[in-house]
Amino acid sequence: MAIVYHSENKDNFLLKVKEEIKDRFKGCNKIAIKIHFGEPGNKTAFKPDDIKPITDVLNELNIKFFLFDSLVTYSGLRNNSDSYKNFTIKKGWGNLGEIRINDEHISVKGENLTYEVCKELVDTDAVLVVSHVKGHVCTGFGGAIKNLGMGALTKKTKGDIHYGGKPVFVGECTQCKACERACPLGTLKVKNKPIFGTCYGCSDCVYACPNSAIKTRVNYFDILLAEGAAVAQSKFKKVYYISFLKNITKLCDCQSHPGEIIANDYGFLASPDGVAIDMAAYDVILKNEGQDVFLKFNKKSGTEQVKAAEKFGMGKSKYNLIEL
């Protein structure tokens, strides 16, 4: 059973993080902080001040580091290494340390796809995965698994995952419209058969169809994402996870406008296990909110990715939550 530390007191949390990193990253000369810098215009994604207490801990321990993210498939500043890096510098991230953004990779064959894992994360002594837990249109919520299952992979692989989760009509439609109701974008319409409009490949309609008349192009989005995260983690020399339960918006940090806040802030989590930390984040939020806010707002709980990541050997969903 994995240990997950939780605290709403930042000072107590940082003391434990310092203790954990000192122990688990012993002998490391330079590590990567895997982080999402946020889409331009996003007001609730991480800011440098959020992460500075963690980089201060690394500096105190004399552990050198760089901050890393990969490129995205869609057009914009984050699609290009130079423009993305310039954007982060303008936001003040360069004041914390070196920034590296690129798509250099190694290829790893999985059960469903060949995943291109970012070489910067493979080559460094350890990876500190710092995640902002928030909603996500394809997975219900995004945390540590999403941070690696997208952010530790190249833009080509990101595209392959989204494409692989897209639906294909293969059977007889009974006009029940379950698929239409399940679509988080509201772009799927049933007219004698499902008509797929704008689609991110979340696979929700495939889950929903009671007659198995819709299938995915490769496999469910959650399965492809989880396998990508597990494959990436398997290539890291050492890894540790930190998650922030703050500014929990409906949509993810890849959105310029991530939507409304759907839950209160609940502090911080830390764990050596990326599956356990996501399961704990989900449980802490639901316990305190009294409802599944991710299912309510995004039509998916998000535990599908957690279960899949566990099956791929990324970690354990059962955990012991230790309050600090």
pLDDT digits (tens, 9 = 90+) for 243-276: 999 999 999 999 999 999 999 999 999 999 999 9
Residues 245 and 126 in one domain: yes
Compute φ and ψ for 120, nearest 5 degrees.
-55, -35
Residues 112 and 143 in one domain: yes
What is the CATH classification number for the domain harbouring 204?
Answer: 3.30.70.20
Residues 56 and 83 in one domain: yes
Residues 65 and 199 in one domain: no
Residues 238 and 99 in one domain: yes
Residue numbers of the domain that contains 98: 2-160+220-323
Under DSSP, the state recorded for 46 is -
Residues 15 and 80 in one domain: yes
pLDDT (mean) for 28-45: 96
What pLDDT does residue 30 have? 96
Residues 149 and 183 in one domain: no
Residues 211 and 226 in one domain: no
CA 233 to chain centre: 13
Residues 6+ apart with CB under 8 A from 235: 106, 108, 117, 121, 122
Confidence of residue 297 (pLDDT cuts 50, 70, 90): very high
Residues 82 and 207 in one domain: no
- Tell me the H-state helices in 96-220: 119-123, 144-149, 155-164, 178-182, 204-208
Residues 98 and 203 in one domain: no
Task: Please tell me the total count of domains within the chain.
Answer: 2
When mean pLDDT is compared across 74-83, 103-112, 233-242, 268-277, the lowest value belongs to: 74-83
Domain boundary among 216, 239, 254: 216
What pLDDT does residue 75 have? 85
